[in-house]
Amino acid sequence: MGCSIFPTITLPVFALIIAITGSPLSVQARESEMPHLIQTVTEQDVFEGMLALDLFKTPVLETEDCAKAYENVKSCVVRIQMGNAHGSGIIWEITPEKIVVATNKHVLEYWRDEDSYVYFEQGHYADAAILGVSDQYDVGFLAIDTYQFSYEDIEKFRTARINEEIYEKLRLGDEMFSVDSASDTEEAEYFEATVGDTHMYIEYFDAYMLYGYGFAKEGMSGGGTFDGRGYLIGMTTGGTYWNETAGVPLPDIVEAYEEIVQMKSENMAE
């Protein structure tokens, strides 16, 4: 399976406490008796600090350069392996308890807990569970428990940079690229394209999609589509043999996630 074809905290700073008692000492005595100062910051402290300071987002460029932007976003892409089938995914959110991965709903139709897993570009494999799928859009989310990684491992992951205003400013001919999280190998690659229309109705999907001119192939479903600076603008969903691409627009992904999170919260409250 793969692409559909239409006619395809402030960082915790630990106070160093020095107990000084008794009568005043000479400088030499004080120097010899004062304890050594040891700063103890654990990997958990660093992780929690990165969360609090919102440091897990991929960097973006000042000017468009797809090749450089791709190097920045590689750390937020994953491969979703489901038996012999596979698709791509995007690290959407990192919390103390879980890592959320976004992908196409049609990719998750192949998901079976017993033989499916997520492969990270940094070389890690992880079990996951479906967090939820959208009723309206071709979007779904996986949740991965963070206990499967060390804090040092998680510090290397990044979430896609999301800014809906960037999407609204897209125009015909703007540069963009789609990331294939390894259709044939364990190395991701990217394909440059240009924006055709940010809100084109495509009958095959029965949805308004981000339409572009570029290459897509099997295995790219659920992967990120980024602008030339590295902002996430959509989710690659399909392509044709005539170098046309279609993806779920960023605002729809955001809406789908908010609905799923809200539904989960309401279910827990019942």
CA neighbor of 228 nearest in space, from 200, 195, 252, 250? 195
**pLDDT exceeds 80 at position 160:** yes
pLDDT of residue 67: 96
User: pLDDT, tens digit, for every residue of 84-115?
Assistant: 899 999 999 999 999 999 999 999 999 999 99
How is residue 228 written in tokens?
Answer: 């030339």
Helix (H) or strand (E) holding 246: strand 244-249
User: What is the percent of the chain where pLDDT is above 70?
Assistant: 82
Alpha-carbon distance of 204 to 4, in angstroms, equals 9
CA dist list (Å): 15 to 9, 44, 191, 258: 15, 17, 49, 39
The residue type found at 15 is A
User: pLDDT, tens digit, for every residue of 42-88?
Assistant: 999 999 999 999 999 999 999 999 999 999 999 999 999 999 899 99
Alpha-carbon distance of 229 to 59, in angstroms, equals 9
Residue 261: pLDDT band (50, 70, 90) is: confident
Give domain 74-160's CATH superfamily: Trypsin-like serine proteases (2.40.10.10)
User: What is the percent of the chain where pLDDT is above 90?
Assistant: 74
pTM, two decimals, is: 0.83
- Of 24-38, 87-101, 153-167, 185-199, the range with the lowest mean pLDDT is 24-38
